[in-house]
Structure formats: structure tokens, C-alpha cells
Copies of this chain bind each other. A is one copy, B any other.
Amino acid sequence: MKPRLSITLLVVLALLFVGPAGWSDVRYEVDPPDILGYKTLKCDFHMHTVFSDGEVWPPVRVEEAWREGLDAISITDHIEIKPHEDVAGDHNRPYDLAVRAAKASNIVLVRGTEITRDTPPGHFNAIFLSDNRPLDEEDFLKAVEAANRQRGFVFYNHPRPRWYDVHTKMLENGWLHGVEVVNGGTYYPHAHRWCLEKGLTMMGTSDIHDPAPRRRTTPENHRTMTLVFTKDSSLKALKEALFEGRTAIWHADQLIGSRKYLEAIFKAGVQIGVPHYRDDDEEAVWVEARNDLPIDVRLERAGDYGPRNITLSAKATTMLEIDIDGGQEQAELKYVAGNFLIGPEEGLPLTLTVPSR
């Protein structure tokens, strides 16, 4: 009998060990800038665990998020896909099992789930729920209605290019609030267009099933995430921001979002220095451009002056050689940031202002 008793102790120790997130571990901060008076939260609202077709235990998603510098996540296991017959537990278990880890590691954990149907209608995430169970409905629209009854935020996952009647109906009912413009590694230009046309919130998610393949977020290797511009770090402020469409997406080497937000991010993150050297023989001045963003900015010249192509590498300073024209230093340079997408294949127009010496 005695061994069994002490095993209880071991169980407790084991639980503690696997409990709250990795404090022996390290979180490298990502740091896109706060803009327009808002705080910028790094979020991923689409991920899976063994409670549907994922491969990890729920708190792992919190630990991964913490290490990768995220601020808020939602575990959105499928209501309808539960291939692991050995795993019991109702639709609320993933959240319930992860919540202590989230508290200890300061991650905002949003209760959510994925409503899963063939297209049409397709797959939909509902987040900011208080109880996932009422969404276990045979009728699709009843499930969506159940989500909305809880004032959940509903978005359309990895959408096919065609917009169906059921989507119109959801929109008309006020039941659809966002669309994944990026899911994992895939960008959907049609979803981008829908967001612009129909006022839906742009979402970017990992839809991760496997354990996360990285230990930290870098400009070259990061999870697809949604940047949400919030009044503060609370669940309430986060929800409000999503309903008001205050998001941008960081996908691969691109930022995707409305002109207003991308422009603000550029301005907050990139500083052009005062020209520090002038060479009249070469008819040029030299200027440093410092990019504190975690993403390269790839600029193509849209005006008459400045280098034709500039890459402002992430977290680095780039030296610019700018033409002098007739003795006149150029103060305003016109460019387009090709990897800051304000629409499908439409880069962000920018003016680089060079301070006078």
C-alpha cells in the first residue's frame, strides 16, 4: 500500500511540473510598436490539441505562445472532429486544462471552438465564448446562433474562393465578424477582398496541430499571427478591438491590413536620420534609416529620387545614399512598401521624410 501513497505525491509533483508554463524557459519579445494610442497584442486564435485532431496537451499551447512572444490565444478544438477515442472530456476541457498555465504565464486565454462542416458553409471559429458545449448542434446555423447568443466573435476559416448564400445569411444576421485572410502558410486574396468589401475583421492564424516547430519568434521564422490594436490587455478590450476590426496580420515576410494601421506601424517603427555626410563630387548625401520593426520593409521607388530599391532589414540600420539635385537635398522621397499589403497585390504608398541637416 505504501508505494501507492507516495505515488499520489509523485502525481502532484508531475502535475506541478507540467502545469503552468515554462518559467525555466525564456520568452523573446517580438515588439511590433503600439500605434494610434492602442496597445498592439500578438494573437493566435486558431489551434488544436489532442481534444480534437491536434497532437499536444492543452497547456503546451500556452507554453509555446509564451515562448514565441504572443499575448493572447484561443484553443479552438473541433466540436465535430474527435479522432482520438482514448480522449474523453467535454468541449470545455481544453480551455479548463490550460487556464492555470495561462494565468501563471500572463497569456490571455480566450475560450473558443471550431464549428466544422464541409463547404458550404465550411469551418468557423467562435471565440470569446463562456461555454463551448451549446455549439454541439447538428444544424450548422443553430451552432452559429448559439455562438452569437453568447456574444461570441465568429470568423470563417481557410475559406474557399466562392461566397455562398449561407455566408450572406450569416452576415445579414450579424453572425459573421471576421475571415481568415491567412491560415498557416496560405494567404487568400479573395478573403482579403471580402474583408475590404464587407467590413469583416482580417484574421491571421496558425491553425497549428503539431507541436510548435520554433522556440522563438524571429523576422525570418515566425507563426502567422493577428496583431490586435486594443485599449488595454484585458479580455474585454481584446474582444472590442476584434469586433471593431482593429487588426493586421503578420504572415511570412508580409504585413496585411488597412492603410491606416500599416502606415502607423511603419511610422512608429522606422526612423530616418539627419543626413550625416554630404559628398558634392558624388552629388549625394548619406542618411541612416533605422527599422525597429520585427519585419523587413521592402521599398520600391515611386518618385524621382532615392535608391530604386531599398530593403530596410528588421531590427537594423540601413545606410541610404540620396541624390542631390542641383545642389538641393531631397526631403521627400516617394516609395511603395511592397510587403505591406493594403489590398491584394497592392503595397502601401509611403513618403520618406528626410530631416534637414
Judging by beta carbons under 8 Å apart, are B26 and A316 in contact? yes
**B residues within 8 A CB of A18?**
53-55, 83, 209-210
Q: Is A161 interfacial (CB-CB < 8 Å)?
A: no
Contact of A29 among B50, B116, B317 (CB under 8 A): B317
A118 vs chain B, min Cβ distance (A)? 4
**B residues within 8 A CB of A29?**
290, 315-317
Tell me, in angstroms, the Cα distance from A73 to B90 when the chains sit together. 33
Q: Is A84 interfacial (CB-CB < 8 Å)?
A: yes
Tell me, in angstroms, the Cα distance from A277 to B62 when the chains sit together. 15
Q: Is A357 interfacial (CB-CB < 8 Å)?
A: no
Q: Known contacts A23-B286, A318-B26: does B104 contact A60 (CB below 8 Å)? A: no
Judging by beta carbons under 8 Å apart, are B56 and A55 in contact? yes
Q: Is A117 interfacial (CB-CB < 8 Å)?
A: yes
- A interface vs B, CB < 8 Å? 1, 3-4, 6-7, 9-11, 14-18, 20-23, 25-29, 50-51, 53-57, 59-60, 63, 66, 80-81, 83-84, 86-89, 93, 97, 103-106, 116-118, 138, 140, 209-213, 215, 273, 276-277, 279, 282, 286, 288, 290, 313, 315-321
